[in-house]
């Protein structure tokens, strides 16, 4: 039954989008982290989505193929008194771009809402199907 398959497709979307939101939260939270746990400045992380074909089904789900770190140049901030400053007086700040993160967040939350709405519609259709002939 294809309607049930829609729930599977929707679930993959919810999982993928919530992981994306999670990474955005991590990026925003670490936007001012000069030193992360590995001793380097934090780098923005992004998800890479990939469609996922399922055997014998017409609909394709989505999955997070991998998580990549942004290759953008880190931001150099002139803070001479800072304990982590280099001899020139600069500290390395994360390459998180707040505007980019905000746009990404809006996109992720919209996609999540679409998925929820889609599953609600499917639920209603299935309930109607149960009432068939009554």
Partner 1 sequence: MGYLYHLKHLTLVFFVVLTGWHAACEVSVKFDSFIGPNVNTVPQFDPLAFGETALKLRSLRHELLSSNLVNADTPNYKARDIDFQAVLMQRLSGQTGTAAVSLERTHPGHIPLASSMQSPQQKFRVGVQPSLDGNTVDPDIERGHFVKNAFFTEAALSFLGSTLRTRLSAITGQPS
Least distance to partner 1, CB of residue 18, Å: 13
Of residues 5 and 90, the one with the C-beta less far from partner 1: 5
**Dihedral through CA 120, CA 105, CA 66, CA 119, nearest 10?**
0
Binding residues vs partner 1 (CB under 8 A):
1-3, 5-6, 9-10, 12-13, 16, 48-51, 56-62, 107, 110-111, 114-115, 118, 121-122, 124-125, 128-129, 131-134
Angle between helix axes 2-29 and 98-130 (nearest 10 degrees) is: 160
Distance in angstroms (rounded) separating the CA atoms of residues 39 and 92: 11
Give least dist CB 131 to partner 1, A.
Answer: 7
């Amino acid at each position: 039954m294809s309607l049930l398959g829609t729930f599977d497709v929707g679930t993959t979307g919810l999982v993928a989008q919530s992981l994306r939101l999670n990474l955005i939260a991590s990026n925003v939270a670490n936007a001012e982290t000069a030193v992360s746990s590995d001793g380097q400045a934090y780098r923005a992380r992004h998800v890479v989505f990939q469609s996922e074909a399922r055997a014998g089904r017409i609909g394709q789900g989505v999955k997070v193929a991998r998580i990549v770190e942004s290759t953008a140049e880190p931001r150099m901030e002139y803070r001479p008194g800072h304990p982590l400053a280099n001899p020139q007086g600069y500290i390395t700040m994360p390459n998180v771009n707040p505007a980019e993160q905000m746009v990404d967040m809006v996109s992720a939350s919209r996609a999540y809402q679409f998925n929820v709405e889609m599953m609600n519609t499917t639920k209603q259709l299935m309930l109607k199907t149960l009432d068939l002939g009554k």
